[in-house]
C-alpha cells in the first residue's frame, strides 16, 4: 500500500479545502490568525468585518485607540490581550517593515502574538510559500495516522510532515488535514466507522485491540 494513500484519501474528501478565515489581504489574514488563538475561525469571522472597517491597514490599526479595538473584539475571549497584540503588531509592521507584512518566518515571529504556526499560515496562505502549519487538528491527525509519535513536539510533527509530504503539496494538504480533523476525525468521537483510513490508522488499531481485551 502506498505510503501516501492517506494524502490521496484526504485530497478526494476535500479537494477544495482552503483557509476558512475571511480575509482580503496578507495583513487581514495575519490579524485574523492572531485572533484565532483559542477560538474558532467562525468566531473570528464574526468580529473581523467591523474590525477591518475600523482599521483596514497597518497604519490605521497602529494608530487606532486601544478601546476601539477592544470594543470591536469584545465577543472574543482574551479580547484585551488580543487587542494589545494586534495594535503592537501593526505598529511594528509600520515601523520595521515599511507597512508590509514580512515574508519570512523569522521576521513574522518578531511580531507580538505571532508564533511558529501563525507565521507558517501567513507564509502558506498569504504568500503561497510552502509551509506546514501544525495546529491542533494537524497534530492529532499526524499522530493518529502514525506519521508522528505521540510524544513529538509540534515542531517535530512539522518536520516529520515536511519529510513525508511532497513539498508541492504542503500548502494544500495542511488545509485538507485541518478539514479532516475539524469535520471527520474529530478529537472526540471520530467517525471511524465510515473512515477509509482504518488500515493506516494507529489510533484505530489501538481502539480495536482495547475492545478485544475487554471482551469476555
Ligand atoms: S480511523 Fe478514526 S481515528 Fe483513524 S483516521 Fe479514521 S476517523 Fe480518524
Q: pLDDT tens digit string along 4-39?
A: 899 999 999 999 999 999 999 999 999 999 999 889
Tell whether the model's pLDDT for residue 118 goes beyond 70: yes
Question: Residue 194 and residue 213: Cα distance in Å, rounded?
Answer: 23
Q: Residues 82, 171: one domain?
A: no
Neighbours of 12 (CB within 10 A): 10
Q: Distances from the Cα of 122 to the Cαs of 33, 36, 89, 115, 137, in angstroms?
A: 8, 13, 14, 11, 18
Q: Are residues 105 and 123 in the same domain?
A: yes
Provide the 8-state DSSP code for 169: G
Average of per-residue pLDDT values in the chain: 95
Annotation marks residue 117 as catalytic: yes
pTM of the prediction? 0.92
Candidate from 138, 190, 207, 208 with most ligand 1 atoms within 8 A of CB, to mutate: 190
**Residues near 85 by Cβ (< 8 Å), separated by ≥ 6?**
34, 112, 113
List pocket residues of ligand 1, CB cut-off 6 Å: 144-145, 184-185, 190-192, 195, 197-198, 201, 203-204
| Ligand 1, atom 4: closest residue by C-alpha | 201
Tell whether 200 is covered by a domain: yes
Tell whether the model's pLDDT for residue 176 goes beyond 90.
yes
pLDDT band at 213; cut points 50, 70, 90 = confident
Q: What is the pLDDT of residues 55-78, one digit of tens each?
A: 999 999 999 999 999 999 999 989
> Which residues span the domain enclosing 63?
26-127
Domain assignment of residue 21, yes or no: no
- Structure confidence by residue, pLDDT tens digits, 97-116: 999 999 999 999 999 889 99
Q: Of the candidates 102, 127, 152, which is a domain's last residue?
A: 127
What pLDDT does residue 182 have? 94
Does residue 173 form part of some domain? yes
pLDDT of residue 169: 96
CA distance 163 to 196: 23
Q: Report the residue count for the chain.
A: 216
206 is catalytic: no
User: Residue 1 pLDDT more than 70?
Assistant: no
Q: How many structural domains comprise the chain?
A: 2
* C-alpha to C-alpha distance for 112 and 92, rounded to whole angstroms: 9
Q: Do residues 117 and 192 share a domain?
A: no
Grid coordinates representing 60 are: 490605521
Q: What is the pLDDT of residues 147-173, one digit of tens each?
A: 999 999 999 999 999 999 999 999 999
Residues 46 and 123 in one domain: yes
CA angle (81, 127, 7) in 5-degree steps: 95
Same domain membership, residue 141 and residue 84? no
CA 4 – ligand 1 centroid, Å: 16
- Non-local (6+) Cβ contacts of 12 within 8 A are none
The CATH number of the domain where 103 resides is what? 1.10.340.30
Spot the catalytic one: 84, 117, 143, 160: 117
Q: Give the rounded distance of the alpha carbon of 209 from its chain centre.
A: 32
CA-to-CA dists, residue 206 to 1, 38, 146, angstroms = 20, 29, 11
pLDDT at 70: 97
> How confident is the model over 184-195, as pLDDT tens digits?
999 999 999 999
If one residue of 201, 205, 208, 211 were mutated to test the ligand 1 pocket, choosing by the most ligand atoms within 8 A of its CB, it would be 201
- Which of 135, 149, 159, 206 is an active site residue? 135
Amino acid at each position: 500500500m502506498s505510503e501516501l494513500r492517506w494524502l490521496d484519501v484526504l485530497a478526494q474528501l476535500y479537494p477544495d479545502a482552503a483557509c476558512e478565515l475571511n480575509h482580503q489581504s496578507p495583513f487581514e489574514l495575519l490579524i485574523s490568525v492572531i485572533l484565532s488563538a483559542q477560538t474558532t475561525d467562525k468566531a473570528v469571522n464574526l468580529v473581523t468585518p467591523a474590525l477591518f472597517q475600523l482599521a483596514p491597514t497597518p497604519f490605521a490599526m497602529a494608530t487606532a485607540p486601544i478601546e476601539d479595538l477592544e470594543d470591536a473584539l469584545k465577543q472574543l475571549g482574551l479580547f484585551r490581550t488580543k487587542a494589545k497584540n494586534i495594535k503592537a503588531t501593526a505598529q511594528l509592521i509600520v515601523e520595521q517593515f515599511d507597512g508590509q507584512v514580512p515574508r519570512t518566518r523569522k521576521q513574522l515571529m518578531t511580531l507580538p502574538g505571532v508564533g511558529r504556526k501563525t507565521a507558517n499560515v501567513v507564509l502558506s496562505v498569504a504568500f503561497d510559500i510552502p509551509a506546514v502549519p501544525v495546529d491542533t487538528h494537524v497534530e492529532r491527525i499526524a499522530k493518529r495516522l502514525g506519521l508522528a509519535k505521540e510524544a513529538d513536539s509540534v515542531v517535530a510533527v512539522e518536520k516529520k510532515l515536511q519529510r513525508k509530504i511532497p513539498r508541492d503539496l504542503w500548502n494544500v494538504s495542511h488545509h485538507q488535514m485541518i478539514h479532516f480533523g475539524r469535520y471527520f476525525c474529530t478529537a472526540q468521537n471520530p467517525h471511524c466507522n465510515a473512515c477509509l483510513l482504518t488500515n493506516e490508522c494507529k489510533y484505530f488499531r489501538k481502539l480495536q485491540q482495547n475492545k478485544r481485551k475487554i471482551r469476555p
